[in-house]
Structure 1
Amino acid sequence: MLPPVLVPRPSLSLHPSQGVSLGDPVTLRCHLPRLAAWVWLYREGGWSYTKGKEKEQDAAEFSFVSTLRVHAGRYRCQYQVSESAEVSVESDPVELVLTDVRYPPSSISLHPEQHVGTGTNVTIRCWNKDYGATFLLHKDGTSAPLQHQDSSGGGTATFTLFGVTPADSGTYRCSYRPEGYPFISSPLGDSVTLEVTPTPAPPGATGSSHGNLVVAVVGGCTAAFVFFLVLIIFFLLSAHRRRTQRDESPGGEGVKCPYFSVDPLKRPSGSPIISFPSVF
């Protein structure tokens, strides 16, 4: 292999991208800049294919008219610019997984059954006739498997969905890959349907939240009132202290507040006694 030079990296895609059975046609497409190049398609573990690409094209295609077991595997592509010795790095890999209908579909079960509330742990169990397989859990509408797990013995695998939410609702199926054939798959098996409903709030939860809010607001207002009350008392005491110090200082005796009174002997008959006690 030629030493790679920094030219744009190619990308590899598979058409169709999934659900390819033995005997079906399939195309691997290596995407690269619009320049003349030699393109290599590598199958991990052995095979390689070479093809020239014209300058006007933006991809080089490698097709299998009728797929065989030997075509299953992991692929990458790479290219060299025709006018120079520049060689790209390899693309990210894609996997060509072929379905072999000679393997019977797996069975599946769901626990708890069908309807569950948010936050529940759900168990999905898959099993077959013990092919020493790796099981895969699929969800309809999702291209890639959600989980995979080696058989625990007896041809069984258990998948757990922790703390499910409404987004986990859907139809689930299992497939498996026989031991020694990581890119050969059984057909998808029977399905189970999971429905996750939002768990309703406990009775009184809304009223409790409202009550907590009211308590918080009242507590905040009370704290503010106490703070301002303490602040006012502090200023009054400070003012009183300053007056006291001023009255007790030398030359300050003439500033004391007088005590006003009316001599009861000189007041008119029937008039009340009016007196103003000293403030300090």
Structure 2
Amino acid sequence: MTFVFTVLLYLGLCLGRQTLVLAGNPPKPTLSVQSGSVVARGKQVTISCEVTTGAREFRLYKEGGPHPWRTKNTLEATNKAEFLIPSIEQQHGGRYRCYYKTPAGWSEHSDPLELVVTGFYSKPSLSVQARTVVTSGETVTLQCGSQLGFSRFVLTKEGEQKPSLILDSVFMNSTGQFQGLFPVAPVNSSQRWTFICYGYHVASPQVWSEPSDPLEINVSGAVQPLEQSPNISNSKAGSQAQDYTTENLIRMGMSVLVLVLLGILLFESQRSRRPARHTARRENSASVKVAET
């Protein structure tokens, strides 16, 4: 009876856990922008809300705006809903979330998506401190500056969706500019290092300036000849070692051949002496017999 009671209790606990899981909210969706979260003013933007299970009603809301900001209903259950912004403007910058409805109820909210709109202020300037040609392995400092009183500057690398660095601006009395100094990790010649920067005011963190002119860092590849010279010397050393090995093998072969010839000559010499010894012994024995008689 004790064993049966234990089994029934275990099954009851498992069923209870499954019931709690089924009664919980559906899993949260995923929110994304195909063209990237940093968009130039006037561009068309499509925000996608994706789910793992089908749904017929999706809602999108923007922090600080009406809730929901947009609603989309479908006739049949689908795994994705798209919300179109025909021409993105300043008011569209911000943090977005989405959620959906199933027969079990409303889902959890998605992780926030921060949509940034650029092109509302004059572009800052971007330059490299000291020089534009650097050696592979060096750390470079980039300077983003503007006459406008930006609160912060943003540095982005070509080919990357997210900003590389965000820094508070500092006013320089010597130049009369607000600027940010961005240290860039050791650079190398195996990839391109092209950057642009933006400025924005802390009151509107999702509204950025026009992008600066692209700045490409020229990484010196002077290290390559140094890498080739050891290979050349190694090849020469290898060929010389191979020549020495061949000569040693030839010398050893000649030595073995000489030893073999000497052995043959010695064997033949000993062999030729044996008949003479037998003849001498016979003659001696014959002379002894004659003397005895």
| TM > 0.5 | yes
Distance in 1 between residues matched to 2:191 and 2:167, nearest whole Å: 19
Q: 1:7 to 1:172 in 2, by over 3 A?
A: same
Residue 91 of structure 2, aligned match among 49, 53, 70: 70
1:206 to partner: Cα distance: 5.7
Checking the alignment, whether the CA contact within 8 Å between 1:168 and 1:196 is kept in structure 2 is no
1:190 aligned to 203, 213, 220, which one?
213
Normalising by the residue count of structure 1, what TM-score does the alignment of the two structures yield?
Answer: 0.63
Q: 1:53 and 1:32, CA in 2 relative to 1: closer, same or farther beyond 3 A?
A: farther
2:146 to 121, 125, 128: 128
1:146 to 164, 167, 172: 164
The 3-state SS of whatever aligns with 2:91 is helix
Q: Secondary structure at the match of 1:45?
A: coil
Q: 1:88 aligns with which of 67, 90, 107?
A: 107
Normalized per residue, the structure richer in helix is 2
Q: For residues 170 and 48 of structure 2, what CA distance do their matches in structure 1 show?
A: 38
Aligned to 2:15: none
Q: C-alpha distance in 1, partners of 2:40/2:184?
A: 29
SS across alignment from 1:97: strand
Q: How many Å apart are 1:115 and its aligned residue? A: 2.2
Cα deviation digits, residues 167-222 of structure 1 (max 9, x gap):
5642211111123110111111122211224563989x969xx9xxxxxxxxxxxx
Does 1:119 pair with 2:137? yes
User: What is the letter of the counterpart of residue 84 of structure 1?
Assistant: A
CA deviations 1:128-152 (Å, max 9, x no partner) are 1132331111222222221111111
Q: Does 2:177 align with 1:177?
A: no
> For the Cα contact (< 8 Å) 1:36–1:54, is it kept in 2?
no
Q: Does 1:158 align with 2:181?
A: yes
Q: Work out whether residues 113 and 194 of structure 1, in 8 Å CA contact, stay in contact via their aligned partners in 2.
A: no
Tell me the matched-pair count. 203
Once the 2 structures are TM-superposed, how far is the Cα of residue 39 of structure 1 from its aligned partner?
A: 1.7
In the TM superposition, residue 119 of structure 1 has moved relative to its aligned partner by: 2.4
User: Judging changes above 3 Å, is the alpha-carbon distance between structure 1 residues 206 and 94 closer, same or farther for their aligned structure 2 residues?
Assistant: same
Q: Is the 8 A contact 1:38 1:80 kept in 2?
A: yes
Identity of aligned residues (%): 29
Q: Supply the AA of the counterpart residue of 1:13.
A: S
Q: CA RMSD in A?
A: 2.9
Equivalent residues in 2 for 1:209-220, closer than 5 Å: none
Q: Give per-residue Cα distances to partners, 1:101-139, cap 9 Å, x unaligned.
A: 4x1111111134232222212110010113233111122
Structure 1: which 5+ runs fail to align? 211-280
Partner amino acid for 2:104?
S
Contact 1:43 1:73 in 2 (8 A): yes
How many angstroms apart in 1 are the aligned matches of 2:184 and 2:54? 48
The answer as to whether partners of 1:38 and 1:53 remain within 8 angstroms in 2 is yes
- Over 3 Å counting, the alpha-carbon distance change for 1:48 and 1:14 in structure 2 is farther
Question: Per the alignment, in what secondary structure is the counterpart of residue 54 of structure 2?
Answer: coil
TM-score (norm 2): 0.60
